[in-house]
Amino acid sequence: MSGRHTRVLLLMSLTLTSFHLAPADMPEATALERDPEQAVRSYFESRTTGLTEIEIEHLVPVIVREADRADLTPAMILAVIEVESGGRVRARSNKNALGLMQILPRTGRALAFEAGLAWNGPETLYDPVTNVRLGVRYLEQLVDRFGDVPTALAAYNAGPTRVAGLLRTGQPIPRGYAERVLTTWSPVIRAEI
């Protein structure tokens, strides 16, 4: 992991005061630090997600564990989920991205193969645990590839090939999606983009 990535994550952790998109529904930073699993559980229980209680019970520790494994935070994963799907497990975009973290089937298939996870076609992406495991893996790969969180988020949304091409030709990278994710997480981070 790059030093910049570590500094950005540290700065985000230090400046995180609360979620801003829907304050009544998003867990506060202190709750995420004190009891991340309960804060993540509260996020899903406070909205209409299509998840059963059993699915939430299985999903919550996966979000916390996968975020930690990828050197991200549960807050970052929840922010991506919020922006991508609003927490709706059966979300489908107009570009055919599926599930909580809105993963395209071809990307999901490749990530599942790399991770040694079963792939049973695009429906696999509607399994919340699999979707989060693949989405976090993908975000982690993009942070490693591009070296910082905002650029990785731009690539998560616009595609890594497009972002790499923009970087190669010196063109500006679209920052709107990264801003939405990071301001969902903490308004203070907006200045870091």
- In the chain, domain spans: 3-192
The answer to whether 182 touches 192, Cβ cutoff 8 Å, is yes
CATH 1.10.530.10 fits 3-192, yes or no: yes
Confidence of residue 191 (pLDDT cuts 50, 70, 90): very low
Q: What are the pLDDT digits (tens) for 134-145? A: 999 999 999 999
List the one residue out of 74, 78, 95, 96 whose CA is nearest residue 86. Answer: 78
The Cα 66–Cα 47 span in angstroms is 22
For the stretch 88-99, pLDDT in tens is 999 999 999 999
Answer for the pair 103, 89: CB distance below 8 angstroms, yes or no. no
Q: Is the pLDDT of residue 54 over 70?
A: yes
Residues designated as active site: 84
Angle between helices 176-185 and 149-158 (to 10 degrees): 120
